[in-house]
Chain A
Amino acid sequence: MVSGTGIRPFARLLDKSKASVWVISPGGKLIYLSLGCSQWLGFDSALLLDRRSVAGAAISDEKLDLIAAALAPPAELMRRGTASLKITPPALERHRPEAREVRFLKVGNGNTALILAIAGDFDDRLPDPELKDAVAIRQQLDSWRRQHAATAINIAAGTSTQAVRLRRRIHVAASTRTDVGLFGPPGSGGESILMRIHELSAPGENLINVDGPLMDSDLLDATLMPARHQLAENKDARVTALVRGLDEMPFEAQQRLASLLDTFSGRLRLLASCGAQLIELNAPTDDVISDSLSFENDRASGLCSQLIDVISSLTIVNPPLALRVEDIPLIATAMLDTRHAAGEGPAERINRAALDALVIYPWPHNYKELEDAIRHSTRTATGSVIACEHLPLAIRSYQPGSVSKRAKQSKISLDDAIQRYELRLINETLESADGNRAEAARRLGISRARLIRRLDDHSPGTSSSKEAR
């Protein structure tokens, strides 16, 4: 092979570009160095031709041989076919070459493979920032799963104060068999939390599901009949009643449930989900209060006082998703992970634009809506990444409400607003009438005297203008 003669047109272009490019023969000798190499190294790079450039090979003490060896690719190149290295060639004379990123490429196979080296400024070794974010979320998720292996419920993922408090409560509830009241808005996944608590605190124990709002005392009796028999026949038997919507259960049924809990004290356990309104369990009770008044108070709270006593053993508050904004990326990723593990769709991560859309959305239906959105996206996405276009239309098209909708109405005093509007209108008309008050009054359809009066009212220093402000 003749050095630098077989690819002259290409070599000329490389020399013109001032790029530092060199080629190493299959035998490990430098067979081409571009003009840019001479500028980088500070001497005529042709002096390096035919010198060995193999990592780890024995070389003489001659400086040119040292420089040629410094231009050698790492050993892994032959295996991988490509390699990156930061090279700082030794100085031949006074000129000290700067360190440069070099990319090596093996061209061809076996004993005829050439090595092409290009030095320059590359940023391809820096990770994609978006990917970096995804890795950070993944690490957070893995760490959370490691720390809370047993109670790792997706909706409890996160780093917010609310998430930490929710996890602690779940942990306590899962480690002891006790009555639990879970307060959260509709769609907050209370049932799944209670199921998990049951699995962990009383594994194998009989569980009876009760739909609170549909019950009356007779239907409740019928629903709990098997449990009552079991508890009556066997003194060691234990049963858990999981009541959904306890606060929506008719009062008569609540009182019947309270009576059953009292009858089988401790052996019949109550796990109940209630609405978002947390009862003030520690509120002082008035012993002197009449029964009828107490009953009215119970109705107002949605729970009878006996059941409040029961669930005061342990209450868990699950805040709405809109209050856990910073946890949304982690919760959504955890939900996606669960679906991916179950073989639903190829999506493995959610890109940043889609996460932003999830964060911005107000989630009126809470965790259930997020779960539905992730399920929809998993089915829609064809690749490994969920993007904005894969989200449900309501989420991807959501724009935060206009400021007027969110403006606090208490800030707007009607009188003040009318006065400001009136003054602005008068000023604008006066301006358009070149300051002619009579003309402005005519245009506004009022008398000149009234216009002047209004201006006087609004002028600084008058009592009415002070009031207006």
Chain B
Amino acid sequence: MNWSLVDPGVIRAWLICETGSRWLTAVRRFGPDMVPEELVAKVESASRDEILANLTFSEPSIVLWEVRRNSLAAHCDSLARSSAINPKALQIIACHHLTHREKACLAPFPVAAMVQHPEELPRLTRMIHLHFARWTQFID
């Protein structure tokens, strides 16, 4: 996609931080239909540092973190930092075999939703619409 042809005002970044490509594939499949008609989702895979750097542009965006047991602490830090950098970023957690106790550890952080499998993504459509409606103005 030549993004220079698309009005930058309607592009919404959907950043994915994960091991492998399970969620990137899933978001590429369902993501474009989950954003409002007026907007275009730009789905990209990114490392934790890249995401934190990208969020400084303060555009409304979606970040999907795949959280594994061994990276729980690092992700708690990422969640806290990214919400401080850009409150317009909607943060979604993709739990990779986390126990209830481990999921509870994420509760204090600004997590909009937790999903376990790709088929759960379309359920978040309404929430994503509301998120963009809150932060997007003057779209004809």
Which residues in A have some Cβ–Cβ distance to B below 8 Å?
A: 129, 133, 325-326, 328-329, 352, 355-356, 359-360, 362, 399-404, 406-408, 410-413, 416-417, 420-421, 424, 469
Number of B residues near A (Cβ < 8 Å) is 31
Decide yes or no: A411 and B7 within 8 Å by CB, A399-B25, A404-B1 being known contacts.
yes
Q: Which chain B residues border A407 with CB–CB below 8 Å?
A: 1, 6, 32, 40
- Does B5 touch A at the CB level, under 8 Å? yes
Contacting pair B118 A411 (CB below 8 A): no
CB distance from B11 to the nearest CB of A (A): 9
| Contact between chains at A406 and B32 (CB < 8 Å) | yes
Tell me, in angstroms, the Cα distance from A424 to B4 when the chains sit together: 9
In contact, B43 and A403 (Cβ under 8 angstroms)? yes
A401 to B40: give the CA distance in the assembly, Å.
14
**Residues of B at under 8 Å CB distance from A?**
1-2, 4-7, 9-10, 22, 25-26, 28-30, 32-33, 37-43, 97, 117-123
Which residues from chain A contact B32 at a C-beta distance below 8 Å? Answer: 403, 406-408
Residues on B with beta carbons closer than 8 Å to the beta carbon of A404: 1-2
CA–CA, A115 and B41, complex, Å = 62
- The interface residues of chain A, by DSSP majority, are classed as helix
A356's contact among B33, B38, B118, by CB below 8 Å, is which?
A: B118
- Which of the listed residues A133, A407, A420 has the most CB atoms from chain B within 10 Å of its own CB? A407
Shortest distance in angstroms between A301's beta carbon and chain B's nearest beta carbon?
Answer: 27
Could you list some 30 contacts between A and B, CB below 8 A? A325-B30, A325-B119, A325-B121, A325-B122, A326-B122, A329-B117, A352-B117, A355-B117, A356-B22, A356-B26, A356-B117, A356-B118, A359-B117, A359-B118, A360-B25, A360-B29, A360-B118, A399-B25, A399-B28, A401-B28, A406-B33, A408-B37, A410-B37, A411-B39, A412-B7, A417-B4, A417-B5, A420-B4, A420-B5, A421-B4
Q: Apart from A326-B119, A400-B29, what 16 extra A-B contacts exist at CB < 8 Å?
A: A329-B117, A329-B119, A359-B26, A359-B118, A360-B29, A399-B28, A400-B25, A403-B1, A403-B32, A403-B40, A407-B32, A408-B37, A413-B7, A417-B5, A421-B4, A424-B4
Q: Please name all residues of chain A whose beta carbon is closer than 8 Å to the beta carbon of B122 when the two chains form the complex.
A: 325-326
B1 partner, pick from A402, A420, A424, A469, beta carbons under 8 A: A402
Evaluate contact between A408 and B40: CB separation under 8 angstroms: yes
Q: Which A-B residue pairs are the 5 nearest by beta carbons? A: A129-B97, A400-B29, A400-B28, A404-B1, A417-B5
| Cα(A101)–Cα(B94), bound, Å | 31
Q: Let me know if B118 and A403 touch, CB within 8 A.
A: no
- Residues from chain B with Cβ under 8 Å of A399 in the complex: 25, 28
Cα A469 to Cα B4 with chains together (Å)? 13
**Chain A residue nearest in CB terms to B24:** A400
Q: Are A412 and B6 in contact (CB under 8 A)?
A: yes
A325-B122, A360-B25, A406-B32 known; A411 vs B40 contact (CB < 8 Å): yes
Interface contact B5-A403, CB-CB below 8 Å: no
Q: Check if A360 sits within 8 Å of B6, measured CB to CB.
A: no
Q: Are A412 and B5 in contact (CB under 8 A)?
A: yes
Asked whether, in the complex, the Cβ of A360 is within 8 Å of the Cβ of B26, the reply is yes
Residues of B within 8 A of A355 (CB): 117
B38 interface neighbour in A326, A406, A411, A420, Cβ under 8 Å:
A411
- B26: nearest residue on chain A (CB-CB)? A360
Residue of B5, B97, B120 with most partner-chain A CB within 10 A: B5
**A325 contacts across to B, CB distance below 8 A:** 30, 119, 121-122
Q: Are A359 and B119 in touch, CB under 8 angstroms? A: yes
CA distance A413 to B140 in the complex (A): 13
Closest to B33 in A: A406
Give the complex CA separation of A446 and B39 in angstroms.
36
Contact check, A326 vs B40: say whether CB atoms are below 8 A apart. Answer: no
B94: min CB distance to chain A, Å: 12
Residues of B within 8 A of A329 (CB): 117, 119
What is the CB-to-nearest-CB distance from B37 to chain A, in angstroms, rounded to a whole number?
7
Cα separation A411 to B37 with both chains bound (whole Å): 9
Residue ID in chain B nearest A132 by CB atoms? B97
Q: How far apart sit A276 and B1, CA to CA, in the bound complex (Å)?
A: 32
Q: How far is the CA of A355 from the CA of B26 in the complex (A)?
A: 12
Given A326-B119, A326-B123, A356-B22, A416 and B30 contact (CB-CB distance below 8 Å): no
With both beta carbons as reference points, the residue of chain B lying nearest to A417 in the complex is identified as: B5
CB distance from A206 to the nearest CB of B (A): 42
A295 CB → nearest B CB, Å: 36
A359 to B120, CA, bound (A): 10
